[in-house]
């Protein structure tokens, strides 16, 4: 048995935006991506494989410009966190499923 959830069509772009710290003030941002699983866990999305001879620990997170950060759109089960390199402020984008926007949270009992 599969559980279904009513979701908007392909043309909808519903997500939650959360500004933290000073918001979008820097010109460069460190981008981290996470996936929300069905069981409620949140895990880091797979990063690109580092070049040969370099350890995974020393590979830096990808960076993006202010324009690219403003144009980012998460998938339904994705969370994108962009943190400024200088001010430590930034933005979080939560997809509709990962933010629980379409969940029916009635308690039974």
Say if residue 1's pLDDT is above 50.
no
Q: Which residue has the higher pLDDT, 7 or 20?
A: 20
For the segment 61-77, what is each residue's pLDDT rounded down to a tens digit? 788 999 999 999 998 88
The SS3 assignment for 18 reads strand
pLDDT band at 32 (very low <50, low <70, confident <90, very high): very high
What gap in Å lies between CA 68 and CA 62, rounded to an integer?
12
Backbone angles phi, psi at 43, to 5 degrees: -125, 150
Predicted TM-score (pTM) of the model is 0.73
Mean pLDDT score, 31-58: 74
Neighbouring residues of 14: CB distance < 8 A, sequence distance ≥ 6: 8, 96, 101
* Closest residue by Cα to residue 72 from 1, 2, 17: 17
Q: What is the mean pLDDT of the chain?
A: 78
């Amino acid at each position: 048995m599969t559980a279904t959830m009513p979701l908007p069509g392909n043309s909808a772009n519903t997500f939650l935006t959360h500004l933290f710290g000073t918001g979008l003030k820097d010109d460069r941002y460190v981008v981290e991506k996470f996936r929300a699983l069905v069981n409620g866990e949140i895990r880091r999305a797979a990063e690109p494989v580092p070049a040969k001879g370099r350890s995974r620990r020393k590979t830096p997170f990808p960076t993006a410009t202010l324009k690219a950060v403003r144009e980012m759109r998460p998938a339904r089960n994705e969370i994108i966190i962009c943190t400024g390199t200088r001010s430590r402020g930034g933005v979080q984008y939560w997809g509709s499923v990962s933010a629980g926007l379409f969940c029916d949270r009635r308690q039974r009992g």
